[in-house]
A and B are shown apart, each in its own frame.
Chain A
Amino acid sequence: MDAVESPERRAAFEARIAAGEVIEPKDWMPEGYRRQLLRMMSQHAHSEVVGMLPEGNWITRAPTLRRKIGLLAKVQDEAGHGLYLYCAAESLGVSRDEMLDALHDGAARYASIFNYPTLSWADIGAIGWLVDGAAVVNQTLLAKCSFGPYARAMLRICREENFHRRQGYEIVATLARGTAAQRAMVQDAVNRWWWPTLMMFGPPDAESANSEALMRWRVKRQSNDAQRQWFINLTVPQANAIGIELPDPELEFDAESGNWKSGAVDWDEFRRVLRGDGPCNHERMAARRRAHEEGRWVRQAAQAFEARRRTRAPREISTTPRREPAHV
């Protein structure tokens, strides 16, 4: 791709966007557009991968075989989404290794929601219902974004996320009609996950740094606040239907707008977590870095094997005493 920017090229690009055209990887695009897409797609991929940790935390303790299978399949889905998104993001000219380095260096972000701990089984239900529910709202819109690979990725991922959301809601509903201890467990989980879920849509519109350009480029199709409101409107009736209370005393229906009006989100907490001072930021990053470091010899082995297979060179390890391969 020729990266040279000229006013003509830029104007032609903006015209394509305005006409609702879809941009493909090999099309010319302004560097700002490319960078924004790369930021969003890699951040999304990282979120899928880091998101495996809080849920993976309960696979070995899932209460029934059916729940274990459901959770394991869900976490596998997330790894698959991560891989898919890394591949799609690579079409913007950056390798997965480079994206991972940015994550491990702390230069790239992932969704803040995964910096909260999963403290009980009910958290698995709450994540599926609320967190995946919020993700579905966001991704349904991104599926109409102007960059083809991202839009198509979102379309595919949304299908599976919808299934996760239903499974999560079913876990929550089961606990909500369970024993007193289970009801307390699930209410506690919803109390802890509700507000962080609302923060997933990002800061209020007035403070959202990237919003204006992203809206113009049709990457983002609705503002943070509008998406948040959409999610609240969807979720309140679902909570009511199973007797779960949302932890917001100010929540009330506004007949005029047809919206459920919520209380104020604690944006200080949001910024703290974003800064790295959330409940599990340290643990999540440490776990990712450790897995990457401890897996290095495996990746090197696979590369060495592949290189040798391609060149059909004789193996370097077949003789004793063994020699150090040159690249170690």
Chain B
Amino acid sequence: MSAGLLETVASQPAPAPAPEASGALETQRARFEWLLGLADDRLILGHRLSEWCGHAPILEEELALANIALDLIGQAQMLFELAAETEGAGRSADALAFLRDSRDFRNMLLVEQPNGDFAFTIVRQFLFDAWDLPQLEALCASRYKDLAGFAAKACKEARYHLRHSHGWLLRLGGGTQESNRRTQAALDELWRFTPELFLTPVLPSMSSTSDASEAHFQETVRAALSEADLTLPDAAPFPALRGRAGLHSEHLGHLLAEMQVLQRSYPGAKW
């Protein structure tokens, strides 16, 4: 069986190199930063989820949150490698994660918000997952083969993630009065970070996503909130800060100080 299997996959074409000439306006720098944004979202959100370790409300959630964090950080590592390759400056994935300052991080503000209570973490995760899954599905068709390969893998994981956060949104929204109140409060607090999800223009070389993704997101969210007895907050204003441009909330600096402490304290050491 396996020998046959090997024969069939041996004919898989090797991944194509990153596109060089797609879009004259698109610089290598822009591609690098776009990939970094994708990677940083995952690293920072994975970091936040990992802070729950040992403190989750139920053992099953210890497993789920750690598992999702693990997926996200694994995805970030793959994307950092693509970003490093695109940059071509010899920086490693670890250098990108551990040796940049907050102004150079490109993650969106949503993912760096502190965990709050479990409802806050679930709403933050649901908003991210509802945005991320269609994005990854679109990236599966990217002309940049390595990115398409990444997305194909990440998609499978993102489906589990969305099922998890969506499931909890329904449970918390439709559970008790307290859980509904907490979840609505989290939603009201986090909603202002959602416009940023759709501000970053898609690079033609990276994805075929269009404006339809925002409509898709709105529809997923609207349907889930209605099922969960939660109220869609009023449209949020244009964000005053933009993580994709390196303008973060004050939270990120603290997160990075913790995450980067060993690399900063022992320059050049191997771990």
- B58 contacts A295, C-beta separation under 8 Å: yes
State whether B59 touches A82 (Cβ < 8 A). yes
The answer, yes or no, to whether A282 is at the interface (CB within 8 Å) is no
Selected contact of A298 from candidates B57, B59, B262, CB within 8 Å: B57
Knowing A60-B259, A298-B179, A315-B174 touch, does A182 contact B76 (C-beta < 8 A)? no
Nearest B residue to A292, CB-CB: B57
B53 at the interface (CB under 8 A from A): yes
Quick check: B69 and A72 within 8 Å, CB to CB? yes
The stretch of A24-32, A145-153, A231-239, A300-308 in contact with B is: A300-308
Cβ-based interface call for A79 (8 A): yes
Q: Which one, B93-101, B153-161, B197-205, B215-223, is touching chain A? A: B93-101
Contact in complex: B97, A121 (CB < 8 Å):
no
Interface bits A307-328 vs B (CB < 8 Å: 1, else 0): 0100000011110001111011
Pick the residue among A182, A302, A318, A325 that contacts B266 (CB under 8 A): A182
> Do B176 and A300 touch (CB < 8 A)?
yes
- B234 beta carbon closer than 8 Å to chain A: no
Residues of A close to B176: CB separation below 8 A: 297, 300-301, 304, 317, 325, 327-328
28 CB-based A-B contacts, threshold 8 Å: A56-B54, A59-B50, A63-B269, A64-B98, A65-B94, A65-B97, A67-B271, A68-B50, A72-B53, A72-B70, A76-B62, A83-B59, A181-B269, A287-B54, A290-B55, A294-B55, A295-B57, A299-B57, A300-B175, A300-B176, A301-B175, A302-B175, A303-B175, A305-B175, A315-B229, A322-B180, A322-B181, A323-B177
Contact B174 A328 (CB under 8 A): no
Name B62's closest neighbour in chain A (CB-CB): A79
> Are B270 and A178 in contact, CB atoms less than 8 angstroms apart?
yes
Cα A53 to Cα B51 in complex, Å, equals 11
| CB of B73 within 8 Å of the partner chain | yes
**Chain B residues, CB < 8 A from A324:** 177
Pairwise interchain contact A72-B269, C-beta atoms closer than 8 A: no
* Residue A49, interface by CB 8 Å: yes
By a CB distance below 8 angstroms, the chain B residues around A49 are 59, 62
Q: A75-B66, A301-B172, A328-B176 are in contact. Are A178 and B269 (CB under 8 A)?
A: yes
User: Which residue of chain A lies nearest to B119 when distances are taken between CB atoms in the complex?
Assistant: A298
Please name all residues of chain A whose beta carbon is closer than 8 Å to the beta carbon of B213 when the two chains form the complex.
Answer: none
Contact of A73 with B by CB under 8 A: yes
With A300-B179, A305-B171, A315-B229 known as contacts, the answer to whether A179 contacts B63 (CB < 8 A) is no
Q: What is the CB-to-nearest-CB distance from B118 to chain A, in angstroms, rounded to a whole number?
A: 5
Chain B, 73-106, CB within 8 A of any chain A CB:
73-74, 76-77, 80, 93-94, 97-98
Q: Is the interface of B mostly helix, strand, loop or mixed?
A: helix
Docked Cα-Cα span, A80 to B268, in Å, equals: 35
Q: A121-B271, A181-B266, A315-B229 are in contact. Are A60 and B50 (CB under 8 A)?
A: yes
Top 8 A-B pairs ranked by shortest CB distance? A295-B57, A301-B175, A301-B179, A56-B53, A298-B57, A76-B66, A63-B271, A63-B262
- Knowing A60-B259, A181-B266, A302-B171, the reply to whether A295 touches B56 (Cβ < 8 A) is yes
A65-B93, A79-B59 known; A304-B269 Cβ under 8 A: no
Known: A64-B271, A65-B76, A72-B69. A317 touches B174 (CB 8 A): yes
A179 to B182, CA, bound (A): 49
Per the bound structure, the CA–CA distance linking A298 and B167 in Å amounts to 13
**Chain B residues in 8 Å Cβ range of A299:** 57-58
Complex CA–CA separation, A60 to B117 (angstroms): 19
- A-B contacts besides A79-B59, A299-B57, A308-B174, 18 pairs, CB < 8 Å: A60-B258, A63-B269, A65-B77, A69-B70, A69-B74, A73-B70, A79-B63, A86-B59, A287-B54, A296-B57, A298-B57, A298-B179, A300-B179, A301-B172, A301-B178, A301-B179, A328-B176, A328-B177
From A96, A301, A328, B171 is in contact (CB under 8 Å) with: A301
Pick the contact of A69: B57, B62, B73, B258 (CB < 8 A).
Answer: B73
Within 8 A of B (CB), among A226-279: none
B261 within 8 A of A: yes
Contact between chains at B262 and A121 (CB < 8 Å):
yes
In the complex formed, the residue of A with least CB distance to B74 is A69
A61 located at the interface, meaning its Cβ lies under 8 Å from any Cβ of chain B in the complex: yes
One digit per residue, 1 when the CB lies within 8 angstroms of any chain B CB and 0 when it does not, for chain A 57-95 equals 001111111111100110110011011001000000000
Among A56, A96, A308, the one with the most B-chain Cβ atoms within 10 Å of its Cβ is A56
B170 touches A (CB below 8 Å): yes
**Whole-angstrom CA separation of A65 from B241 in the bound complex:** 28
Q: Tell me whether A325 and B271 are in contact in the complex, defined as CB-CB below 8 angstroms, given that A65-B73, A72-B70, A121-B262 are known contacts.
A: no
- The 8 Å CB contact of B57, one of A76, A182, A291, A318, is A291
